[in-house]
Amino acid sequence: MTTPEQDKTYVTRPLLPPLEEFIPYLEQIWASKRLTNNGPFHRQLEQALCEYLGVEHISLFVNGTLALVTALQSLRITGEVITTPYSFVATAHALVWNGIKPVFVDVVPDTLNLDPDRIEAAITPHTTAILPVHCYGRPCDMVRIQEIADNYGLKLIYDAAHAFGVRQDGQSVLRHGDLSVLSFHATKVFNTFEGGAIVSQDAKTKRHIDHLKNFGFVDEVTVVASGINGKMSEINAAFGMLQLKGIDEAIQRRRDIDARYRQRLAGAAGIDCLGGGPDDVTNSSYFPIMVRPEFPLSRDALYAKLQDNGIYARRYFFPLISDLPMYRGLPSANGANLPVAKRAAEQVICLPIYPDLAPEQVDFIADLIRR
Give the pLDDT confidence of 292-324 residue by residue, as tens digits. Answer: 999 999 999 999 999 999 999 999 999 999 999
Assess whether 235 and 357 both reside in one domain: no
Residue 344 lies inside a defined structural domain of this protein? yes
Chain-wide mean pLDDT for the chain?
93
Residue 5 lies inside a defined structural domain of this protein? no
Q: Please tell me the predicted confidence (pLDDT) of residue 23.
A: 83
Assess whether 236 and 310 both reside in one domain: no
Assess whether 354 and 259 both reside in one domain: yes
In this prediction, what percent of the chain has a pLDDT beyond 70?
94
Q: Please tell me the predicted confidence (pLDDT) of residue 3.
A: 44
Q: Please tell me the predicted confidence (pLDDT) of residue 11.
A: 57
DSSP H helical ranges for 266-296: none
Assess whether 185 and 252 both reside in one domain: no
Assess whether 275 and 344 both reside in one domain: yes
Which of these three, 245, 260, 292, is where a domain ends? 245
Assess whether 108 and 254 both reside in one domain: no
Assess whether 174 and 261 both reside in one domain: no
**Residue 12 pLDDT > 60:** no
93 in Cβ contact with 121 (< 8 Å): no
Give the mean model confidence (pLDDT) for residues 28-42. 87
**Residue 2 pLDDT > 50:** no
Q: Please tell me the predicted confidence (pLDDT) of residue 5.
A: 44
332 in Cβ contact with 293 (< 8 Å): no
Which residue range is the domain that position 328 belongs to?
Answer: 247-370
Which is it for strands 9-10 and 311-312: parallel, antiparallel or unpaired? parallel
**Residue 4 pLDDT > 90:** no
Report the domain count for the chain: 2
Residue 12 lies inside a defined structural domain of this protein? no
Residue 13 lies inside a defined structural domain of this protein? no
In this prediction, what percent of the chain has a pLDDT beyond 90?
87
Give the mean model confidence (pLDDT) for residues 120-146. 97
Which of these three, 245, 268, 297, is where a domain ends? 245
Assess whether 277 and 310 both reside in one domain: yes
Assess whether 160 and 286 both reside in one domain: no
Residue 2 lies inside a defined structural domain of this protein? no
Assess whether 115 and 188 both reside in one domain: yes
Residue 232 lies inside a defined structural domain of this protein? yes
Assess whether 80 and 210 both reside in one domain: yes
Residue 6 lies inside a defined structural domain of this protein? no
Q: Please tell me the predicted confidence (pLDDT) of residue 28.
A: 84
Give the mean model confidence (pLDDT) for residues 261-277. 92
247 in Cβ contact with 190 (< 8 Å): yes
From residue 310, give the alpha-carbon distance in Å to each of 6, 9, 306, 346, 371. Answer: 8, 6, 7, 22, 16
Residue 227 lies inside a defined structural domain of this protein? yes
Assess whether 190 and 69 both reside in one domain: yes
The CATH number covering residue 154 comes to 3.40.640.10
Give the mean model confidence (pLDDT) for residues 340-368. 97
